[in-house]
Amino acid sequence: MKDKRHAAIESLLQTVAPGAALLAAVRRREAWLPPFLADADTIPAGPAPYHSGSVLAHTARCMDAVAGDALAVWMALGHDAGKLTTPRALWPHHYGHESRGRRLVAVWARHLGLSDKYTRAGILAARLHMKAGRYARLRPGKKFDLLHEVAASGFFVAFWKVVDADTKSSISETAWRDWQQIRTIPNDTRMEEKTRQKGIALLKLA
């Protein structure tokens, strides 16, 4: 069964319209679907004016927006996974879904037989997409730390694609410009805090 699940997710991630394919799989209640995902069309994506429709509809739209990049499609699939375990009494809010999502994405990756790379990428998207979506409002120190953490993960491009899709914006352009500025600062581990402060100073000027 695991091989069938892996084949199904591989096909989904590589298709030209992964979101549409996900909607069809949920409609058919296909056996390979990860835990809780089959009920995603019954859960509100979030409160107005930030969201409308279901978690499933929002997830499918994000997946289609990053189609052509299998890793980004997987990250889009899992970024809001935590919302699927929000207690009904809290709907349409999903407080703390980032923490619940990182745990659930790890379960999904094992269920589907995905690699450690995909597990780590999915957890990153679930854990940091909300903070990244507020990038313009973050203090320079928070921006510096976020950019370094995402870059260190090795998933910088795919992550910001998902953030753009999630927010229907082009936050990635600002994040990339800021990263290009601070990545040039020599990284001397003996002077880590001094390096950080130099980066923060540059971001304040951006």
pLDDT tens, the chain, 206 aa long? 569 999 999 999 999 999 999 999 999 999 999 999 999 999 999 988 777 899 999 999 999 999 999 999 999 999 999 999 999 999 999 999 999 999 999 999 999 999 999 999 999 999 999 999 999 999 999 999 999 999 999 999 999 999 999 999 999 999 999 999 998 776 554 456 777 888 888 888 76
Q: Are 92 and 80 in contact (CB under 8 A)?
A: no
Q: Are 130 and 114 in contact (CB under 8 A)?
A: no
Q: Hey, which residues does 44 pair with through a beta bridge? A: 54
How far apart are alpha carbons 133 and 153 in whole angstroms?
A: 18
pLDDT tens digits, 64-105? 999 999 999 999 999 999 999 999 999 999 999 999 999 999
Which pLDDT score is estimated for 199?
Answer: 83
How much is the pTM? 0.91
Angle at 54 between CA 39 and CA 118, to 5 degrees: 70
Other CB atoms within a 10 A radius of the CB of residue 156 amount to: 16
Q: Are 160 and 172 in contact (CB under 8 A)?
A: yes
Residue 168's Cβ-count burial label (10 Å; 0-12, 13-18, 19+) is exposed
Q: For the chain, what's the residue count? A: 206
